[in-house]
Amino acid sequence: MFSGNHLGRKIHRQLLVCVFFVLSGNSLALCDVCPRIVSLAPSISEVIVSLGLAQNLVGVSRYDMPFEANHSVKSVGGYIDPNYEQVLALRPTDVFLLQEHKVAYEKLTRLGISVHAIEHRGIDGILKSFTLVGARCGVAKQAAIQRKTLQSQSEALTQFVGNSLGEDKRVRKALILLGDDPGTLRTLYISGRDGFFSDLLARVHATNIYHEQTTSLQGLSTEGLLQLDPDIIVQIADPSAPAYSRKEFLQKWQAFSELRAVREENVFYLQDASFHVPGPRFVKAQRLLAQVLYPHLDFSIGG
């Protein structure tokens, strides 16, 4: 239970936020429409925070915790197993979740909560989510600026790579693996054409060589990998996973030296958080992929 003084401070902060956004050219909808937001995905939380709405967040998923942008935020469970009682207890005016979370969408809607489904499996969806959140929460002007900035940065990077390649228009064939253990097929997943990484690769003049849905590598033999014959293999590991020197990492892949990418040492290990949260940081992920695909380019002077 909140004390009167605590509630008073909360209201005072909310009024200050409202005044700031109105003076910045946004609408009063921030005060009227979504003063209490629950976000059920870290990528959505990042969009909300980037639009200056961190103090409107009252609940986030367990994968957001600890939530540095607002220490009073409560955890309300996971992506597909939110704690509905906790969500209700926070009295949210708006809940934002991912489109694939259909069960949560239906249950929360039946509870009378205003629920908004966002598509974050591709870059176009990430950009559109700024418009959706901005329009709903009265920060459409800020959202339009953020969207345009990210789009411009991404397009500039794509253009820089294309111009730098000159006559070399060969599309690099990349294999994206997900998991923490280098060279251990049973613990890795292969990213298919159904997600974020295919979009990133297309924006750096490369292509995802695996055309199926994302799946475990356990069912794919060495012969299957040889048939794919990627130009480059990129392993995306969790930021908290063990770090390896370049020499250590390549050594762990020597069991697969029949692969051309392994023989030519075109196997890379990336741990940046931008790969795990497909939200506003996608431009950073795009740049990191470009740097391993084209190590001869100087990204400090372009893109």
Question: Whose CA is closest to 123, among 208, 214, 195, 48?
Answer: 195
pLDDT at residue 267 in the model? 97
Question: Whose CA is closest to 101, among 61, 49, 47, 51?
Answer: 61
Separation CA 163–CA 69 (nearest Å): 39
Question: Whose CA is closest to 143, among 179, 118, 112?
Answer: 118
Residues in the chain, total:
303
Mean pLDDT lowest for which of 56-60, 91-95, 169-173, 189-193? 169-173
* CATH class for the region spanning 167-293: alpha beta
**Res 279 pLDDT > 50:** yes
Three-state secondary-structure class, residue 116: strand
For 55-83, how does the pLDDT look when each residue is reduced to its tens digit (9 = 90+)? 999 999 999 988 999 999 999 998 888 99
Q: How many CB atoms lie within 10 A of CB 298?
A: 10
* 78-96: average pLDDT: 94
Separation CA 28–CA 135 (nearest Å): 11
Question: Whose CA is closest to 193, among 177, 209, 173?
Answer: 209
| CA R_g for the chain | 22
**What amino acid occupies position 34?**
C
Q: Among all chains, which residue has been given the structure tokens 């020499």?
A: 247
Question: Whose CA is closest to 95, among 33, 148, 145, 154?
Answer: 33
**Residues spanned by CATH 3.40.50.1980 within the chain?**
4-147, 167-293
pLDDT at residue 301 in the model? 66
Task: Give the confidence band of 205 by pLDDT, cuts at 50, 70, 90.
Answer: very high
Q: Model's pTM, two decimal places?
A: 0.86
Is domain 4-147 given the CATH code 3.40.50.1980 in the classification?
yes
**Is the N-terminal amide bond of 280 cis, ω within 30° of 0?**
no
For 219-262, how does the pLDDT look when each residue is reduced to its tens digit (9 = 90+)? 777 788 889 999 999 999 999 999 999 999 999 999 889 999 99
* 94-107: average pLDDT: 96
